[in-house]
Amino acid sequence: DTGVSQDPRHKITKRGQNVTFRCDPISEHNRLYWYRQTLGQGPEFLTYFQNEAQLEKSRLLSDRFSAERPKGSFSTLEIQRTEQGDSAMYLCASSLALWDGEQYFGPGTRLTVT
Amino acid sequence: TQLLEQSPQFLSIQEGENLTVYCNSSSVFSSLQWYRQEPGEGPVLLVTVVTGGEVKKLKRLTFQFGDARKDSSLHITAAQPGDTGLYLCAGRNTDKLIFGTGTRLQVFP
């Protein structure tokens, strides 16, 4: 399978704990995106990378959120001091760096903060 | 703030019926994509439309991009239970996608 993969698929954590998610993009894709989706809503953009450079961050990405893509391949999204409002599906997508590069999504990581 | 509104929000139909889902915005997008998402999974890309007025067909699904590139529609002919899912339109804004509110389709046998 050469699609986008995410790990873990599900994460349950207690409020105040830190969590980290990983995304492995399609191998030849140099752009990687993070989105968040809450129940009954469409995904909302969080941030994206071109190679290792983080090019844009949404205002949704508070100081407790940090994303990295150190070698321009896989990416991690860390949430510090989780809150119940962080409960959501975290989706990763990748694309080629073309003006109309289509984004392909991974299966997501479902985070539940208790 | 760019918004994409989809209608209807929910659609429950019998197998064999036709349906149309609408995606509307006041903003112009360079391209628009349609995705289908099943519970607990990520969205799966169905089609990308780029040119105003463009029509694309994918088996029983017909996608149209409005002339002004602000709106789009998805028409399904003779719906089947396998078409059940959440349909999302997404407009491209520079390098990120702005997603619509989604249409949840349920097709009963």
List Cβ neighbours of A63 (8 Å cut-off, separation of 6 or more). none
pLDDT of residue B62: 97
Q: E-assigned strands of A59-114?
A: 65-68, 75-79, 88-95, 104-105, 109-113
* Residues of chain B above pLDDT 70, percent: 98
Instruction: Using the predicted structure, report yes or no on whether residue B4 has a pLDDT greater than 80.
Output: yes
Closest chain A C-alpha to B37 CA, distance in angstroms: 10
* Dihedral sign, Cα of residue A12, residue B39, residue B4, residue B98: positive
Q: Collapsing DSSP states into helix, strand and coil, what is residue A98?
A: coil
CB-based contact, B29 to chain A, within 8 Å: no
Of residues B80 and A39, more confidence is placed in B80
| Nearest residue, CB atoms, B41 vs list A35, A104, A107 | A107
What is the tens place of the pLDDT at every residue in B26-53? 899 889 999 999 988 999 999 999 999 9
Which residues of chain A have a Cβ shorter than 8 Å from any chain B Cβ?
Answer: 4, 6, 31, 33, 35, 40-45, 48, 55-56, 91, 93, 99-100, 102-108, 110
| Nearest residue, CB atoms, B99 vs list A40, A43, A55 | A43
pLDDT of residue A99: 67
Report the candidate in B99, B4, B97 with the shortest Cα–Cα distance to residue A56. B97
Mean pLDDT in order along chain A per 10 residues (114 residues): 90 98 94 94 94 91 93 95 96 86 93 97
Interface probe for A, chosen from B9, B36, B95 (most Cβ of A below 10 Å), is B95
User: Rounded mean pLDDT of B62-72?
Assistant: 94
Q: Sorting pLDDT into bands at 50, 70 and 90, what band is B1?
A: low
Q: Please, what's the b/e burial string for A17-34 (b: 16 or more CB within 10 A of its CB; e: otherwise)?
A: eebebebbbbeebbbbbb
pLDDT of residue B2: 61
- Please report where in the chains the tokens 């205002």 appear, as a residue: A59
List Cβ neighbours of B27 (8 Å cut-off, separation of 6 or more). B2, B3, B70, B91, B93
